[in-house]
Amino acid sequence: MAPVPTRLNVAPVPPDEIFALNGAYFADPNPQKVSLGVGVYRTDDGKPWPLPVVEKTEKVLAAENDLMRHEYTAIEGDVPFLGLARDLMFGFESGDGDKEAKARIASVQTVAGTGANHLGALFLAHHMKPRTVWLSNPSWANHMTIWELAGVPRKTYPYYHAATRSFDFDGMMNTLETEAEEGDVVLLHACAHNPTGLDPNKEQWIAIAEVCERKKLFPFFDSAYQGFASGSVEEDAWAVRYFFNNKPDMEMCVAQSFSKNFGLYGQRVGAFHYVTNRSATSIRDIVVNNLCHLIRGEFSMGPRIGTTIVKKILTNDELIADWHQDLQVMSSRIKTMRQALYDELVRLQTPGTWEHIIEQNGMFSYTGLTPKQVYALKDQYHIYLLKSGRASISGLSEKNVKYVAQAIDYVIRNIL
């Protein structure tokens, strides 16, 4: 019998670099191997770190034995969680004092930050039909994939100035001023830019908000590191809150992740917030309704366990204090490792300038290493980072930082 041809028209898709790199790291038997690829917090022993406040909360929840933990939620998700997520992101206090401002925000639960970005892109593609989405160059690689799958043409604005290893504010602003058109979406990292670790300062954020308002651009914030980057949830939400509070006639949206700041990587906890302008609050419920239509056809509703943990923490003053302490532990260790790597490269008199390592912010550093140097680190030293030179600082420790610095020193001196 002759074989039946497939009806599919498919071609190979390149593997995801981060997950492929992580797989290669785990398969490597070398005892000195170092993972600087995947963006997951690690202790100084290189181990995962369930936040102590999360472990405490899990014990409380287990003792409560709430049978509803196995039930469905609503399509829009865990409604009490959504109110807490919104208040955390936009800085609302408890009570009704912010009732009018809250009325501008349509919120739904998502499958972590990736799901929030995807749902937002799909919603805007269906209902706003932007001609272009502007992504920073470089940006998180998944941003490109998400907007490609949503069918929205992508363009990039300059973000990283390679010669000085600094934020290219002038290049970004010039491109948005001269090339972006009314109705275009501008993807902005709320803090701890991935992959560069470079953020606008507050004066620059004010200028970015002004150009978005004047040119009628649509800001789309990706907030993956609130509280994790600086240790302060207020500081890391500053840009989002400035746009929201100072540009009330401008619509925007926020994709919010709880993976990093609560250590809930596997629980997939996220939210998407669409912000109407102050004259259009009457459409908020319609926005939620349309978001729910997309959710129902894709995953029906978000998972429950992670949101229950977040809810329990954010509604208990003692647990909130514990969580803030855990945020300080994580952010402080990242900063300590940045300083340790910088100090060791300076001690070795490694050619070039390395101030950017301590000037950058958050989990990642854009090291400035070339792809050839990155491959040499992997092949000769079993040190794994992305070919762009992006390194996850959380993979550094007191035990391996000298080894990593010596390896970087070697490839800088010997491999162009």
- In this structure, what DSSP letter does residue 185 have? E
Check if the beta carbon of residue 303 is closer than 8 Å to that of residue 297: no
Active site residue 134: no
Helix (H/G/I), strand (E/B), else coil: 40: coil
From first CA to last CA, the distance across the chain in angstroms is 57
Cα–Cα distance between 174 and 171 in angstroms, integer? 5
Active site residue 260: yes
Distances (CA, A) of 113 to 9, 83, 163: 31, 17, 32
The pair of structure tokens assigned to 372 is: 């050839």
Set 49, 134, 140, 354: catalytic member: 140
Q: Which residue has the tokens 């609302």?
A: 92
The pair of structure tokens assigned to 84 is: 């807490």
Q: What angle do CA 107, 109, 114 make, to 5 degrees?
A: 110
Check if the beta carbon of residue 260 is closer than 8 Å to that of residue 362: no
Active site residue 247: no
Set 33, 168, 205, 260: catalytic member: 260
Check if the beta carbon of residue 399 is closer than 8 Å to that of residue 236: no
Nearest to 61 by CA among 302, 259, 316, 300: 316
Pairing status of strand 390-392 against strand 383-384: unpaired
Nearest to 310 by CA among 362, 268, 253: 268
Check if the beta carbon of residue 89 is closer than 8 Å to that of residue 237: yes
Cα–Cα distance between 336 and 307 in angstroms, integer? 31
Set 78, 184, 199, 222: catalytic member: 222
Cα–Cα distance between 244 and 168 in angstroms, integer? 24
Rounded to an integer, what is the distance from CA 394 to the centroid of its chain? 15
Check if the beta carbon of residue 413 is closer than 8 Å to that of residue 390: no
Q: Which residues are catalytic?
A: 140, 222, 260
